[in-house]
Amino acid sequence: MSETKKTILKSAWVLGLFSLIGIGLVSLTHAITAEKIAENERLFILKNLRVLVPDEMHDNDLLSDVSHVSDPVFGNEQSVKIYKAFSKQQLVAIIAAPTAADGYNGSIKLLVAIRADGELIGVRVVSHQETPGLGDAIDSNKSDWVLGFAGLSLDKPQLKDWQVKRDGGSFDQFTGATITPRAVVKAVRRTLQYYQTHKANLVTQQEHADG
Amino acid sequence: MDSYRQILKNGLWVNNQAFVALLGLCPLLAVSNTLINGLGLGIATTLTLILSNTLISLVRQQVGGEIRLPVFVLIIASIVTIIELIMNAYFYELYLILGIFIPLIVTNCAIIGRAEAYASKNPVGASAMDGLSMGLGFTAALVLLGALREMIGSGTLFANAHLMFGEAASGMTLTLIDDYEGFLLAILPPGAFIGLGLLIALKNVIDKRLAKPSQQTVTVDFATKKA
């Protein structure tokens, strides 16, 4: 009996020791890499933002002038990040990061840049899991479709035309993929609508918690 | 103890973890849609295999019996987490592609398989060599399958090479056929199964060819004796 106890105790010690060593090594690596990883993530977001709103357009740090907003127009209670670009304390553009939850295969994360006057600077897809070769044409690396949003606004085309052609609107769908562009068009339209309603709240250069 | 040459041959060909043991199929099939993706996961898996085999061989005397497997799992999970953190810090773009598959290395049964079947019974040098050979064999399988699927699926080779080798390599992408429409099936998961099946078949054919000459000599000997 005591022999069994001894074996169990020894096993417990060995297992405990290995857990400690494992945790120690992982923590150490984490401590060494944490700063670099945070920096990578920051640069990655900035790189995406710069494509839409280049540095010359603004004089503030996009990553520090950020609001997290939630609004019925975005649906499903999601919180949407809005980066604001200012030049001499004047709002020149916003970049919203809405998620289209109704993609064909999971959610599509977008960046929607809107100039202060409500015109779209451009739209980019940050991440998606749409079907390769069909739905992934929303990716600017795969096709120019998403570039077509530049210069559009809520009046151009008219609100009722902010749909894919299949639904009677004016946006092209892809051969074999309607759901993906439909989701993107809808998310962009919603973002424009949000901006139109809440423009007044966004123009001041201060942290503004809107909901 | 096997000679290093024998170990290498085992890992690359005779007991190739992907083509013969059919282990680690989940990451293999998921990531092999391009050559570079395959290479990236292959290198990460090889590193894990070398480190886990070495460490497990080092502690094999102290850790025996019933807690052997939990300790192996602990060691492998720690190594993979560390590799994931390092990739996240220094190969960020590649990490963005392979990110979700790196933790899957923990579940790659080839790794615990080698730990249990080899490293827990053999000296450190041979175990490290076994890790390297098995890793290289697995990488070769990933790269072959990745190249096959990328060529058929998108008509390119070395797409996204810059994620791994830096901006200088962005010109490495070979477009094999201009204006290639793409063959969707090859990129999607079924293409991975079909591709793997074909590669295994090819390996079996080669094995049979290699085995034939020795059989022939046997028959000839027999024939001469009879005569």
* Out of A23, A40, A133, closest to residue B92 by CB: A40
- Whether cis (ω within 30° of 0) applies to the bond prior to A157 is yes
Greater pLDDT, B225 or A39: A39
Note whether B68 and B120 are within 8 A (CB).
yes
Task: Specify if A208 maps to a domain.
Answer: no
Q: Under 8 Å CB-to-CB from B85, ≥6 apart: which residues? A: A26, A29, A30, A33, A37
Q: B18 touching A, CB under 8 A?
A: no
Q: Which of A203, A164, A165, A202 is nearest to A71 (CA)?
A: A202
**For residue A195, what are the contacts with CB-CB under 8 A and spacing of at least 6?**
A94, A96, A114, A118, A202
Q: A-chain residues within 8 Å CB-CB of B88?
A: 33, 37, 40
pLDDT of residue B166: 67
Same domain, A71 and A121: yes
Place of tokens 């123009």: A203
Looking at residue B223, the DSSP 8-state letter turns out to be H
Asked whether the beta carbons of A58 and A203 are under 8 A apart, the reply is no
CA distance B199 to B3: 28
Residue-level pLDDT, tens digit, chain B, 227 residues: 568 889 989 888 888 988 888 888 888 888 888 888 888 889 889 999 999 999 999 998 888 778 888 999 999 999 999 988 998 898 887 787 777 678 878 878 889 999 999 999 999 999 999 999 999 999 999 999 999 999 998 888 887 777 677 667 777 778 877 777 778 888 888 999 999 999 999 999 999 998 876 555 555 444 444 44
Count the domains in chain B.
1
Task: Let me know if residue A211 belongs to a domain.
Answer: no
pLDDT at A35: 93
Residues A62 and A23 in one domain: no
Q: Is B25 on the interface with A (CB under 8 A)?
A: no
Tell me which of A105 and B193 has the higher pLDDT: B193
Residue B186 to chain A, least CA–CA distance (Å) = 10
Same-domain status, A192 and A163: yes
Number of structural domains (chain A) is: 2
Q: Tell me if A35 is assigned to some domain.
A: yes
Using a CB–CB cutoff of 8 Å, tell me whether A133 touches chain B: yes
Residue of chain B minimizing CA distance to A27: B82
Containing domain of residue A68, as a range?
Answer: 57-202
Residue B200's pLDDT is 94
Nearest CA in chain A to B186: A132
Q: Is the pTM of this model over 0.90?
A: no
**Residue A158 to residues A116, A162, B83, Cα–Cα distance (Å):** 19, 7, 52
Find, in chain B, the residue whose alpha carbon is nearest to that of A39: B89
Smallest Cβ–Cβ distance between A33 and the set B63, B74, B89 belongs to B89
For residue B102, what are the contacts with CB-CB under 8 A and spacing of at least 6? Answer: B41, B44, B80, B83, B84, B87, B95
Confirm whether A124 is domain-assigned.
Answer: yes
**Residue A185 near residue A164 (C-beta atoms within 8 A):** yes
Q: How far apart are CA A71 and CA A74, in angstroms?
A: 6
Q: Are A145 and A174 in contact, with CB atoms under 8 Å apart? A: yes
Contact of A9 with chain B, judged by CB distance below 8 Å, is answered with no
Chain B residue numbers touching A134 (CB-CB < 8 A):
184
User: Between chains, do A15 and B71 touch, taking CB under 8 Å as contact?
Assistant: yes
Phi, psi of A15, rounded to the nearest 5 degrees: -60, -45
> Same domain, yes or no, for A12 and A116?
no
Of A25, A40, A132, the CB nearest to B78: A25
Q: How close is the nearest chain A Cα to the Cα of B136, in Å? A: 26
Q: How many CB atoms are closer than 10 A to CB B129?
A: 25
Shared-domain flag, residues A121 and A156: yes
In angstroms, the Cα distances linking B109 to A107, B72, B174 are 31, 12, 34
Q: Which chain B residues contact residue A126 at CB under 8 A? A: none
Phi first, then psi: give them for residue A80, nearest 5 degrees: -110, 130
A143 to chain B, any CB pair closer than 8 A? The answer is no
pLDDT tens for A17-34 read 999 999 999 999 999 999
Please check whether residue A186 lies inside any domain of the structure.
yes
Within 10 A of B170 (CB to CB), how many other CB atoms are there? 14
Domain membership of residue A89 (yes or no) is yes
Residue A110 and residue A196 in one domain: yes
DSSP state string for B161-215: THHHH-GGGGGG-EESSTT----HHHHSHHHHHHHHHHHHHHHHHHHHHHHHHHH
pLDDT tens digits, residue range A193-206?
A: 999 988 888 776 55
Find where tokens 């072959």 sit. Answer: B144
CB contact under 8 A, A14 and B92: no
Domain membership flag for residue A207: no
Per-residue confidence (pLDDT) for residue A122, from 0 to 100? 92
CB contact under 8 A, A132 and B77: no
**Distance (Å) from the alpha carbon of B85 to chain A's nearest alpha carbon:** 7
Q: With a cut of 50, say whether residue A209 has pLDDT above it.
A: no
- Residues B100, B139 contacting (CB under 8 angstroms): no
Contacts across the A-B interface (CB distance below 8 Å): 61
At B61 the pLDDT is: 87
* pLDDT given at position B162: 72
Subunit contact B81:A29, Cβ cutoff 8 A: yes
DSSP, residue by residue, B46-57: HHHHHHHHHHHH
Judgement on whether residues A80 and A150 belong to the same structural domain of the protein: yes
Tokens of B128: 């490290």
Percent of chain A with pLDDT over 70: 95
Interface contact A33-B96, CB threshold 8 A: no
Check if the beta carbon of residue B51 is closer than 8 Å to that of residue B166: no
| Domain extent for B74 | 4-226
Q: Cβ of B184 under 8 Å from any chain A Cβ?
A: yes
* Per-residue model confidence as pLDDT tens digits over B184-206: 888 888 999 999 999 999 999 99
Determine the residue of chain B that is closest to A16 in CA distance.
Answer: B71
Q: How far apart are CA B25 and CA B161, in angstroms?
A: 24
